[in-house]
Chain A
Amino acid sequence: MKNVLGTRHGLRTNRSLTIIAQDPSFQIDNKILRATIEVPAEELSPGPSGYRVSVIDYDATANVLYAPLELNSGLDENYPDPFADKSDQELLDNPGFHAQNAYAIVMRILARFELALGRRVAWGSSGHQLHVAPHAFAEPNAFYSREDRALFFGYFEGVLDGRKTSQTVFTSLAHDVVAHETTHALLDGLRQRYLEPSSPDQAAFHEGFADIAALLSVLSLDAIVRAVLDGKPDDRLIDARFLTPEALIDSSLMSLAKEMGQELSGIRGSALRQSLKLEPGHDYMNDEAFQEEHRRGEILVAAMLRSFLDIWVARLQRVGTISRGKKDRSLVVEEGAKAADHLLTMAIRAIDYCPPVDLTFSAYLSALLTVDREVVPDDRYGYREALLRNFASYGIAPSSSADVDGTWRRSDRDMVYSRTHFDSMLRDEEEMFRFVWENRRALELGEVGYIEVQSVRPSTRIAPDGFVLRETIAEYVQMLTLQAQELKDLGVDIPDGLDHWRNVTLFGGGTLVFDEYGQLKYQIANHLLNSEADIGRQSQRIAHLWESGFYADPAVAASRFAELHMARAMADRVSL
């Protein structure tokens, strides 16, 4: 075992690195706001290139490769941060720093996901290492590409707010942009079918979730919360009147939105801005204007951010008042960052409790509530109440197949366990498939269609009693390809104009959550055609695909969605 030289201590687990807290335009006293973040320590080659992230600074527009950044070996005793004392200009002018900034934020988000789920989380693309190109091309754009196993960050000329001359804007220096793209890659690893065409909700979810993870990641930095609170980061106390949900929207979130580089405003940052504009108390889900995917994602972001503020304020109730209605600023900041961090953990864990296909916002809300009930059964911090209330105010109710409190119903069916082995089931997809096959009746899988187990994964966390709790999460997917005419006979609505001979594929599937005894705890499923609700879901999905041109020209059907995704990548908040 490799120890720190001359001692019996193991190697350090973390490496501290300087990043730009939000982006270069977020400045205090004319200085770029920075943060030092902890990322997992690891052996690194030049790039930096580590066990999950490999930065290759190639610029396709200029066709040049920039020199890789060399951080010291993970086997060394100390990990000096090479940019800790550099001037702002040095940070901007050195591509090595851009590489470090992107590397550190990607690793931080990855570590955040792994901490929440208690396991290694794979990227959506094959291979272990995700490429990161911090100056990929001259374009106001950044995106995740599954096929290229990469995150591409563009650069472009932009004019900073209040200035006359333009300067180069690097998307790899924007914390939320890097976090957003990383989240796409991780969500794709957790639920690979979410990038497939389905409902407006599912298309909107990828963007909405990536925005949520990015914003909560930014807000979980003390430096950011302190800076945006009331504009007086150096005061030791803060007036309690700044600490209501309404005041916090104006002070913290609005000013964060404002600070998010204006030159990037058309490109991103508008996710926050746009969703703050959505006043609660309106049924956005059924509003015509919010059927379009990009706008729909804003609803989810708005509901989560309002929940965040409520949770923050609720936590502040426990912070004592010092003098004349004033509270200790550092405690207020700490509680804000903590609330963001907790909510982010819940948001990530909830993915494990979502169906693998045809995701809706309602199902995601039920997943969030279930995750929280598992951890805090009595809701003593009011998280579930806050989520229910805020989601409801945007028109999102828990799933109709959930329990009265909005959480998923526990499975109460008798299952056949005797033909499978507990230990195998924890890791083996073949064994899990056998379980699914033997229990196809109890699981209501129907008689037709192709079934495939997509993943079997452990999920560990600390239970309320302090013991390690291990669950197993498995996903199965069902596919059924029929001619449009046959679907019609099954009660599924076929849009006018869709040829009756055209093959149409329906999806179904479920997530199986097993407890620590290997007993089925939840089956969170969208069945193929079991109920009227399933048939309605299939009809809606086909109608949505028809309207978006998916069936119009079979020859281009596939590339059409690639283009849609591309188009979304290019529209502002979508990919960026």
Chain B
Amino acid sequence: MKPSRVTIRSYQVGFGDCFLFSVHYDNGDSRHVLIDFGSTGLPEGVPKTRLKAIAKDIQTVTGNKLTAVVATHRHKDHISGFATNEAGTASGDIIAKLQPDLVIQPWTEDPELEETATAPRARRGRKNLSSAARHVRTLWAMQQVAAQVWAEAKRSRSLRPEMRAMLGFLGENNVKNLSAVKNLMTMSKNKKKNKYVHAGTSSGLEKLLPGVNVDVLGPPTVEQHEEVGTQTSWDNDEFWVRLAAADRTSPPSGMSAKPLFPKHVVNREKYRFPVNARWFIYRAKRLRGEQMLRIVTMLDDALNNTSVILLFRVGGKSFLFPGDAQIENWEYALAQSNVRKLLKSVDVYKVGHHGSRNATPKTLWNLFEHRSADKHDAHRLTSLLSTMAGKHGREDNSSEVPRKTLVSKLERESTHFTTQNLAANDLCFQVTFDL
């Protein structure tokens, strides 16, 4: 049983990722790995039932059996498709029925790392977990913060529309998606079949995919690469925990907040504040918006950097799936000479983080030896991009996603496929690689 062909289906999920990586064998057998399934916004004209349609398509294509599921990190745009409903009819329910033999997630998702622990501590028999547990706790607190920011952005009447949209998007994307998280934890039925990986660990995929090598290049643990920890917390990982607890008085989204000192509130005439205070109030509101945006951007980056980076090598071709890993995650892998060597021969690159500025480090891009401006080069690099413009970042500070300069580089130096070229009724594009 030898691999003869690889196909990759890139589904149109708008802003999100959903890739079906299939290895076809010479005996007619096929094995399928679903890498991420989520969306935070669909392009115009795409029906709301898109995720369910994709789940059904996956069911058909895989013949009711998934070999493995990879959830690179817990952002909504990567896992919302795994959400379930009570009736058992949601896209996540359909995927669960495909009974994956293995579910791969980053080490930060390991339920053994007590996420709500009040003090970070190592579990018995496990070494060096305290910094890991602390990191996980910090990420947990960050998601609480995201929920608060989302709520505050929704109820605030004073934010500029574009600020509100950005806050809404980032806040929502970072809010914990409980049913999806739970489904990922339980869909493989056997707890032992859940793998929580970090750089250098085995993915557990080799046994299930004969003839395929899979390297886990990221995410690093806090011990492996301190920046992962410091990025979330600077030198104070208490900060996020405190921030999460800061706004306990804040009501559920949609309602206005309860003032601290109700008896001392100044009544407003026709919603107007006293004229002497207006200039400052305007500044304070603006500052608050920017501050919330910075906070959610930081926690967005931190979660992105928990992304699993997988490198599949099969029949002389290699396929790189880095999730939304950003530079802090990549730094560790790129510092290893053996990893750099492997990365040189990448043939297919799933573009990191929907084509954002800081997810395709120059040092990584420059390693790819199959980059070529020659369209007829048989060994030319292939790049796959799942994205939707106008959702994330802004052009005025070069943070737009996808970043224009990156896209033009991808178009120039690789055979580039993007979900943005799909019509509203196209479910996906499929690229085939003969081995």
Contact A67:B266 (CB < 8 A) given known A93-B261, A150-B284, A294-B235: yes
Q: Does A158 contact B (CB under 8 A)?
A: yes
3 tightest A-B CB contacts, nearest first: A156-B246, A266-B238, A555-B398
Interface residues of B in 251-270 (CB under 8 A from A): 256-261, 264-266, 268
Q: Which of A135, A147, A553, A572 contacts B236 (CB 8 A)?
A: A572
User: Are A266 and B357 in contact (CB-based, < 8 A)?
Assistant: no
Contact A571:B236 (CB < 8 A) given known A61-B288, A556-B398: yes
A-B contact pairs, 9 of them (CB 8 A): A58-B281, A63-B156, A149-B283, A150-B280, A150-B283, A156-B247, A158-B245, A292-B235, A563-B294
Q: Report the separation of the CA atoms of residues A157 and B257 in the bound assembly, to the nearest whole angstrom.
A: 15
Q: Report the separation of the CA atoms of residues A330 and B291 in the bound assembly, to the nearest whole angstrom.
A: 47
Q: Does A312 contact B (CB under 8 A)?
A: no
User: Are B236 and A152 in contact (CB-based, < 8 A)?
Assistant: no
Contact with B along A550-564 (1 / 0, CB 8 A): 000101100100010
Contact with B along A16-55 (1 / 0, CB 8 A): 0000000000000000000000000000000000000010
Residues of A within 8 A of B294 (CB): 563, 566
Q: Does B224 contact A (CB under 8 A)?
A: no
Contact A294:B234 (CB < 8 A) given known A61-B288, A67-B265, A266-B239: yes
Distance from B289 Cβ to chain A, minimum over Cβ atoms (Å): 9
Q: Report the separation of the CA atoms of residues A157 and B241 in the bound assembly, to the nearest whole angstrom.
A: 11
Q: Closest B-chain residue to A549, C-beta based?
A: B327
Q: Does A473 contact B (CB under 8 A)?
A: no
Q: Closest A-chain residue to B358, C-beta based?
A: A553
Residues of B within 8 A of A93 (CB): 261
Residues of B within 8 A of A140 (CB): 239, 242-243, 246
Q: Does B49 contact A (CB under 8 A)?
A: no
Q: Does B389 contact A (CB under 8 A)?
A: no
| Interface residue ranges, B against A (CB under 8 Å) | 152, 156-158, 234-236, 238-239, 242-243, 245-250, 256-261, 264-266, 268, 273-274, 276-277, 280-281, 283-285, 287-288, 291, 294-295, 298, 357, 397-399
Q: Closest A-chain residue to B399, C-beta based?
A: A556
Q: Which of B265, B283, B287, B397 contacts A64 (CB 8 A)?
A: B265
Q: Report the separation of the CA atoms of residues A239 and B235 in the bound assembly, to the nearest whole angstrom.
A: 40
Number of CB contacts from chain A to chain B under 8 A: 144
User: Are A138 and B250 in contact (CB-based, < 8 A)?
Assistant: yes
Q: A94-B261, A570-B243 are in contact. List 4 more A-B contacts (CB 8 A).
A: A59-B259, A63-B156, A93-B261, A133-B284
Interface residues of A in 129-150 (CB under 8 A from B): 131, 133, 135-140, 145, 147-150
Q: Does A168 contact B (CB under 8 A)?
A: yes
Residues of B within 8 A of A449 (CB): none
User: Are A131 and B234 in contact (CB-based, < 8 A)?
Assistant: no
Q: Which of A54, A60, A131, A571 contacts B235 (CB 8 A)?
A: A571
User: Are B242 and A95 in contact (CB-based, < 8 A)?
Assistant: no
User: Are A59 and B266 in contact (CB-based, < 8 A)?
Assistant: no
Q: Which of B246, B260, B287 contacts A145 (CB 8 A)?
A: B287
Q: Closest B-chain residue to A138, C-beta based?
A: B247
Q: Report the separation of the CA atoms of residues A64 and B152 in the bound assembly, to the nearest whole angstrom.
A: 14
Q: Does A166 contact B (CB under 8 A)?
A: yes
User: Are A60 and B285 in contact (CB-based, < 8 A)?
Assistant: yes
User: Are B239 and A155 in contact (CB-based, < 8 A)?
Assistant: no
Q: Does A154 contact B (CB under 8 A)?
A: yes
Residues of A within 8 A of B288 (CB): 60-61, 137
Residues of B within 8 A of A95 (CB): 260-261, 264
Q: Which of B242, B266, B397 contacts A156 (CB 8 A)?
A: B242
User: Are B236 and A66 in contact (CB-based, < 8 A)?
Assistant: no
Residues of B within 8 A of A145 (CB): 287
User: Are B266 and A65 in contact (CB-based, < 8 A)?
Assistant: yes
User: Are B243 and A168 in contact (CB-based, < 8 A)?
Assistant: no
User: Are B242 and A58 in contact (CB-based, < 8 A)?
Assistant: no
Q: Closest A-chain residue to B286, C-beta based?
A: A148
Q: Which of A60, A96, A150 contacts B264 (CB 8 A)?
A: A96
User: Are A155 and B280 in contact (CB-based, < 8 A)?
Assistant: no
User: Are A295 and B235 in contact (CB-based, < 8 A)?
Assistant: yes
User: Are A136 and B284 in contact (CB-based, < 8 A)?
Assistant: yes
Q: Does A62 contact B (CB under 8 A)?
A: yes
Q: Report the separation of the CA atoms of residues A6 and B158 in the bound assembly, to the nearest whole angstrom.
A: 52
Q: Report the separation of the CA atoms of residues A233 and B235 in the bound assembly, to the nearest whole angstrom.
A: 36
User: Are A65 and B273 in contact (CB-based, < 8 A)?
Assistant: yes
Distance from A102 Cβ to chain B, minimum over Cβ atoms (Å): 14
Contact A56:B260 (CB < 8 A) given known A140-B242, A150-B284: no
Q: Report the separation of the CA atoms of residues A430 and B407 in the bound assembly, to the nearest whole angstrom.
A: 51
Q: Does A567 contact B (CB under 8 A)?
A: yes
Q: Closest B-chain residue to A145, C-beta based?
A: B287
Distance from A97 Cβ to chain B, minimum over Cβ atoms (Å): 11
Q: Does A311 contact B (CB under 8 A)?
A: no
Q: Report the separation of the CA atoms of residues A60 and B291 in the bound assembly, to the nearest whole angstrom.
A: 11
Contact A58:B284 (CB < 8 A) given known A63-B256, A94-B264, A555-B397: yes
Q: Closest A-chain residue to B247, C-beta based?
A: A138
Q: Does A525 contact B (CB under 8 A)?
A: no
User: Are A61 and B257 in contact (CB-based, < 8 A)?
Assistant: yes
Q: Closest A-chain residue to B268, C-beta based?
A: A65
